[in-house]
Structure 1
């Protein structure tokens, strides 16, 4: 009968390299970390018939596989057969914390969208003005905002600063814009399209900020507008005409020329990856800080696509891909000035 002997040795774990194990030997069985090993002592002429003592050399160590599975990681002398479960527990805690924070964030956004006052938006019955540079901007970029404002029972007006006549299609695009607005719920009397040589559809022409601002302010005052929505400083696509609208609104806001109680929302520009892969952008949009977030239901997405399809003259192959993949057909994140 072999007695119990404390030991420390390097064991060749099958399929996992080797690791140092500290345990004990009793009756030719090594116990370490819940795993049993059969050991064969090397007979020494100085120790009789193979007694196991401290320092005894082992001829071979084999798995008996008596436990359900081998140790999950290398065992160290410091670990003293302690299994590395704390790392798993830590990862689980982090995952739970992130998911909880995400859930609370989404719930908070949902509550804010139910109550426009909580989101900082004017209440039901207010008058919102969407300011765009070209026909198709309303559907290509702002459809979630237009439909979201309608959901909040706000009256939406639209001011377009050009007919989109860059390729001499101005009259065609004017009609397409009216059709698109009708799909989005903006009646023709609420749509104003400017046809002025001072505001050509041309990315190479810089619109005069003061003239744009004066035209916009006149329209705001005539229609008693409570909320102005337009592009941000990057213009979503970087188009100079989009950016000119932002500069004009910014100037009115900073100079205090807007009517009392009139707020300004700008559409957030995002990087190319987020712009064209909405399914990757969705969690980022939900968790990123913004003042207002509009997300469309599946029925509203179909409506936005229908509005964009009204712009037949613009439906080139890459715009068809845009309709399928772009986040702006489904999500609008906006910031107040």
Structure 2
């Protein structure tokens, strides 16, 4: 008779590892590539170029409306230094492996709750470099109205305005942030989501190259949130691929991403990003850059969290 440990090995661990190996080997185009493909009627670039049919093409291109590049400009919005590698590592490394020049990171606070803000800002820049984001593409806000605190919700209008400035300045196509539960239910994480959603629903995001005529709209910027899952699944590492894949199948097979990203045609389905081992290693190295935060339970997190390997992204509407 087979033992319980043998059954777990044969029917849970080995299938999960096999599935991981299979997904990692799947060829796929860059993450979010469809949003900047002007030939794809589902893409953001096509929608932008279609919104102003009488606008000169040169003007459209200068604003990114009809960019021929398959790589969108992506802004990852986090609440604190270390969020980027603890939760968004698979997404960021998938993006930077394709085109790091178009990936930007906005941290809404310096994480100064314990008085370590200046240290943590430097650690964030070092961590982002490990993930492939240039230091010049990292912005850390120091706003007295949105400070790191475990019990404070931030004003969504303030957060939305801070994000709007970054979207406008960098001509962003896609925003990635937390969902309404913030992975850990941290109010600062949840505030990031509410700020992004308010921006998306608000209307206009002015283009920085013009005061009037040439303006993008928030509705033409896609925003995605990182899915929060139950505690039972959160710390199962690679084993969570089994329920993740099953749920993906039940949702009519959303795009599944590995090293280079999901299927290029965005259909509104969730995007599942699976980090290959070499990207997971980058996530580990990035976390070790946050030396001020390396308390004992962080090591347990690194060893067991599915967010080091898997991200599931849902569109914010």
* Alignment of structure 1 residues 139-288 onto 2, 5 Å: 139-153=85-99, 155-258=102-205, 259-260=216-217, 261-288=220-247
- Other-structure match for 2:295: 316
Cα shift at 1:243: 0.4
- Which one has the bigger strand percentage? 1
Q: Determine helix, strand or coil for the equivalent of 1:153.
A: helix
Bigger relative contact order (CA 8 A; separation at least 6): 2
Q: Following the alignment from structure 2 to structure 1, what is the Cα–Cα distance between the partners of residues 154 and 224?
A: 21
TM-score by length of 1: 0.64
- 1:118 and 1:287, CA in 2 relative to 1: closer, same or farther beyond 3 A? farther
Q: Following the alignment from structure 2 to structure 1, what is the Cα–Cα distance between the partners of residues 315 and 203?
A: 15
* Alignment of structure 1 residues 301-312 onto 2, 5 Å: 301-312=280-291
Matched, 1:327 2:306: yes
TM-score by length of 2: 0.68
Cα shift at 1:318: 0.7
Count the aligned residue pairs.
235
Q: Determine helix, strand or coil for the equivalent of 1:221.
A: helix
Q: Following the alignment from structure 2 to structure 1, what is the Cα–Cα distance between the partners of residues 32 and 178?
A: 21
Cα shift at 1:203: 1.9
- Which one has the bigger helix percentage? 2
Q: Following the alignment from structure 2 to structure 1, what is the Cα–Cα distance between the partners of residues 238 and 75?
A: 29
Q: Following the alignment from structure 1 to structure 2, what is the Cα–Cα distance between the partners of residues 279 and 159?
A: 28
Partners of 1:309 and 1:315 within 8 A in 2: yes
- Other-structure match for 1:28: none
Cα shift at 1:254: 2.2
Cα shift at 1:187: 0.5
CA deviations 1:194-217 (Å, max 9, x no partner) are 011111100222211111111111
Partners of 2:33 and 2:70 within 8 A in 1: no
Unpaired segments ≥5 residues, structure 2: 1-14, 36-41, 45-68, 206-215, 249-253, 255-269
Q: Following the alignment from structure 2 to structure 1, what is the Cα–Cα distance between the partners of residues 293 and 43?
A: 33
Unpaired segments ≥5 residues, structure 1: 1-98
Q: Following the alignment from structure 1 to structure 2, what is the Cα–Cα distance between the partners of residues 116 and 132?
A: 19
Question: Please, which moves more after superposition, 167-176 or 116-125?
Answer: 116-125
Decide which of 240, 260, 277 is 1:298's aligned counterpart: 277
* Larger Rg belongs to: 1
Cα shift at 1:292: 1.0
